[in-house]
Structure 1
Amino acid sequence: MGMTTTHIVVGGGIAGVSAALYMRRAGLDVTLIDPLPSPGGASFGNAGIISADTVVPISVPGMLRKVPSWLMDPLGPLTIRKSYLPRATPWLLRWLWAGRMRQVLKSSDALRALHSPIWDVYRDLLGANAFADLLRPFGHVQLWDGELESPAAALERRLRERHGVKSQPLRFDELREMFPGLAKMPLRGILIPGNGHIVSPRRLVSHLAAVALAEGVRFVPERVLKLIPREAGDWTVMTNAANHRAARVLVAAGAWSATLLNPLGLYLPLDTERGYHAMFSGSPVQLTHTVLHKDWGVALSPFEEGLCASGTVEIAGLHAPPDERRAAAVARRAMQLFPELEGVEPTIWIGFRPSIPDSLPVIGAAPGFRGLFLLFGHGHNGMTGGPTGARLVTELMQNQAPFIDPTPYAASRFLRGAPT
């Protein structure tokens, strides 16, 4: 038998759990529905990077000339499965179009506004003790091959300078001092001190869920199949087990959000950037910072569970089987950087980044539907933009003055009444 509640949040990842907690603290009656019995599973496999000072969208000038190599190299940093290309083409065209410098600057400004408050947001959500336990605001290190700055790296530097983001160049001898096991190869790097990492993404989201439960949020382990608007102006949320009724629904289902919105006629350019990770449990390599190799598209994150090597982008949709060769390629890259990892057998995983072409999430009311709100599409920055987006969407639900301008994230920037 179904239930009647005031607000239903669909999705138990970092965005949905954070939103449920913010909404409950605003005095709202909240139920969160997610098929996983324990929140945290949706977020456990990511790189755990906190991108407070990350201001660079994924699509930048020069992307178009790289498309042939994406199709030719199934194990490269970014690849497109040929079987998925016809379906992905409209999204890819929007993605390339978002790489115009005018749009890059707009996206960069909006990323800065959304990301920069994240440390304060986590302190608010977690409290001081859990913040100190789960988060490491020590910065992260970015690496590139060779000693010369590429055009892409130069653009990133200019965008950081545009927003006053601090960065510290690191010579190879300084890198070796920070990371004693680093391989002897031509590398240059920078430290971005305003960023940081999570010691365990799964434990962080599980802790937030426990806090939300203790403060009165209800959790229902069911799979949402369909959202049905009712003549009375409220909603029926159909799951695999029941029909639930709510005055308002927040869709925070990540890469699966489109499967709920498309039947309503809401066609947003949401697709997935599939990423892989290799977890080296019992790793002999002990890092104090997350290390991100920009040319390879691979991050190495020091987690409680071990050293997590993650990254690459595969455009192949939600249903194609994983390509374990890509996870193996990520593991090999980790071993190239830190040869001590050779001989450690990693476990592998695949996840689905919910991505929008302009690298900005969709946050706010769904145009044309009373009581329907949206929070998804954070791409590579879910652990950063999810909680800040949760705060923003809660303020919009309450008709409060938002802490940042919500316009860049509005769904209306894409809606034209037809599929895209």
Structure 2
Amino acid sequence: MGLETVFPDDPIDVLIIGAGIVALAAAQKLQAAGRQVALLERGGVAAATSSGNAGALAFSDILPLATSGKIARVPRWLMDPLGPLSIPPGYALRIAPWLLRFWRAGWADRIASSIAAQVAMMGLAEAEMDRMIAESGLGDLIHPDGSLELYESEAEFQDSLPGWTQRTKAGIAFEHVRGAAMADLQPGLSPQFIAGTFVPGWRNVSDPFIFATRLAADVEGRGGIFLQGEASQVFPQESGARVVLTDGRILAAKQVVVAAGAWSRRLTDLLGDYLPLETERGYNTTLPLGSFDLRRQLIFGAHGFVISRLTTGLRVGGAVELGGLDRPPNFKRSAAMLKKAMGFLPGLSAEGGVQWMGFRPSMPDSLPVIGPSRASPHIVYAFGHGHLGLTQSAGTGRLVADLLNGQPPAIDPAPFRPSRFR
């Protein structure tokens, strides 16, 4: 999809900064509510993080990253520079305040409130995703194959049970499987896996980039405008906002949505909202079709990565490198995950893979930032979804539309408010 370089003279009704999956979903929901939208993007539509994710609609993923089990693993993970979690030595001091907030998010009372917020968000996200898929004609891109999380020891399986208890309370269906039942769900697994958990309600998109560009085409078909440019600063005004671009051009808008993912902090700091937005650098390798007979998404929680079946290939990826936006990629991380995947799936062919690195916008409490800037109610934030941008995109879009239209929000937005970090 092309981006226009000629800007409108009149103020834009709603200007969305960004054109990733969250921005596109917000545009679709705003259009459904009767608004005119324009999206400002410095690169290509869905060309950054939204193009390379695992393609999961993970509505059962209600647990924060800072659970006691994961925090206990952090020291061991950090010992392996190519493991599930790494922090480049030169970045450790810079990220220390974020890590402190992450540790505090793991306290029992905070985990309880975080899970409650995620349960509400996931319920909204699933309903709004179903509505968006139907309205935008995307049903052919959805595959309800479920997911299978795998465990290498009885201790690892037992450690997972409190999380599944939380999912039971939230009404999420799952089944613990072993032996032949596990092999039926995914033939060809290494015998090192002694148990698994099957989530039948888990869905995947055919390919996240195709899904996003199809959604973008629908937004454009409804009158949405896609503009080429990079925002450098947003200035609130009495009747809206001005957006100044890096090349000096200026856009006027009645309302603005900052949905620029991991790059959003460069704008929010200048608006006086100092938010602890950090960048999880995620890596993957996409293998050609036919590399393995994968039946559904496989989750290797102890190793921090997944394997997804897409119509464009087999994607092996995940893990977290907390390293900011500016460091060069370390594709040894992609290679390390692929090497593990070959051991987990002995028949996997690793030939012809394409490596990728993307930037996930991550908050220390695992909850996105959705709500107005302290500088102006005409400027609303929608970013910080971590691993759940695709999953929560439509729910976020609904909340953004409610806030900008002055409607009662579909769910309580308080857990996601930007001011929670003041």
- Which bracket does the TM-score occupy, shorter chain normalised? over 0.9
Residue in structure 1 matched with residue 131 of structure 2 by the alignment: 124
- Which shifted more, 51-60 or 174-183? 174-183
Q: 2:198 aligned to 191, 197, 200, which one? A: 191
Task: State how far apart, in whole Å, the 1-side matches of 2:322 and 2:48 are.
Answer: 22
Paired amino acid for 2:348: L
Paired amino acid for 1:47: A
Cα shift readout 1:363-385 (whole Å, capped 9, x = no counterpart) = 12112423110101111111111
Where do 1:72-83 residues align within 5 Å? 72-83=79-90
Where do 1:202-241 residues align within 5 Å? 202-230=209-237, 232-241=238-247
CA contact (8 A) 2:129 2:394 kept: yes
- Please state whether the residue corresponding to 1:332 is helix, strand or coil: helix
Residue in structure 2 matched with residue 278 of structure 1 by the alignment: 285
Q: 1:144 aligned to 120, 134, 151, which one? A: 151
Paired amino acid for 1:112: V
Task: State how far apart, in whole Å, the 1-side matches of 2:258 and 2:136 are.
Answer: 30
Once the two structures are TM-superposed, the CA of residue 345 in structure 1 deviates from its matched residue by 3.0
Q: 1:376 aligned to 374, 383, 392, which one? A: 383
Residue in structure 1 matched with residue 142 of structure 2 by the alignment: 135
CA contact (8 A) 1:233 1:370 kept: no
Residue in structure 1 matched with residue 411 of structure 2 by the alignment: 404
Q: 1:392 aligned to 396, 399, 403, which one? A: 399
How many residues get paired?
414
Paired amino acid for 2:166: L
Where do 1:157-306 residues align within 5 Å? 157-230=164-237, 232-241=238-247, 242-306=249-313
- Please state whether the residue corresponding to 1:32 is helix, strand or coil: strand
Q: Does 1:50 align with 2:77?
A: no
Task: State how far apart, in whole Å, the 1-side matches of 2:106 and 2:312 are.
Answer: 37
Task: State how far apart, in whole Å, the 1-side matches of 2:296 and 2:358 are.
Answer: 22
Paired amino acid for 1:24: Q
Task: State how far apart, in whole Å, the 2-side matches of 1:317 and 1:93 are.
Answer: 17
Task: State how far apart, in whole Å, the 2-side matches of 1:332 and 1:180 are.
Answer: 19
Unaligned ranges ≥5, structure 2: 1-5
Q: Does 1:334 align with 2:341?
A: yes
Cα shift readout 1:171-209 (whole Å, capped 9, x = no counterpart) = 132222222222222331011122211111001110110
Cα shift readout 1:329-349 (whole Å, capped 9, x = no counterpart) = 111122112122234231110
Task: State how far apart, in whole Å, the 1-side matches of 2:40 and 2:97 are.
Answer: 31
Cα shift readout 1:316-363 (whole Å, capped 9, x = no counterpart) = 111111111101011112211212223423111011111111111011
Residue in structure 2 matched with residue 418 of structure 1 by the alignment: none
**RMSD in angstroms over aligned alpha carbons?**
1.8
Summarize the Cα distance change of 1:180–1:154 in structure 2 as closer, same or farther, 3 Å threshold.
Answer: closer
Task: State how far apart, in whole Å, the 2-side matches of 1:8 and 1:152 are.
Answer: 46
Cα shift readout 1:201-228 (whole Å, capped 9, x = no counterpart) = 0011101100000001111022222212
Unaligned ranges ≥5, structure 1: 416-420
Summarize the Cα distance change of 1:64–1:126 in structure 2 as closer, same or farther, 3 Å threshold.
Answer: closer
Q: Does 1:358 align with 2:365?
A: yes
Task: State how far apart, in whole Å, the 1-side matches of 2:265 and 2:159 are.
Answer: 31
Task: State how far apart, in whole Å, the 1-side matches of 2:105 and 2:261 are.
Answer: 21
Paired amino acid for 2:117: A
Q: 1:38 aligned to 33, 39, 45, which one? A: 45
CA contact (8 A) 2:125 2:393 kept: no
Residue in structure 2 matched with residue 367 of structure 1 by the alignment: 374
Cα shift readout 1:142-176 (whole Å, capped 9, x = no counterpart) = 11112344564122122112212211011132222
Task: State how far apart, in whole Å, the 2-side matches of 1:214 and 1:121 are.
Answer: 20
Determine what percentage of the aligned residue pairs are the same residue.
Answer: 33
Paired amino acid for 1:200: D
Summarize the Cα distance change of 1:32–1:179 in structure 2 as closer, same or farther, 3 Å threshold.
Answer: same
Once the two structures are TM-superposed, the CA of residue 35 in structure 1 deviates from its matched residue by 1.6
Task: State how far apart, in whole Å, the 2-side matches of 1:62 and 1:176 are.
Answer: 27
Q: Does 1:345 align with 2:321?
A: no
Residue in structure 2 matched with residue 106 of structure 1 by the alignment: 113
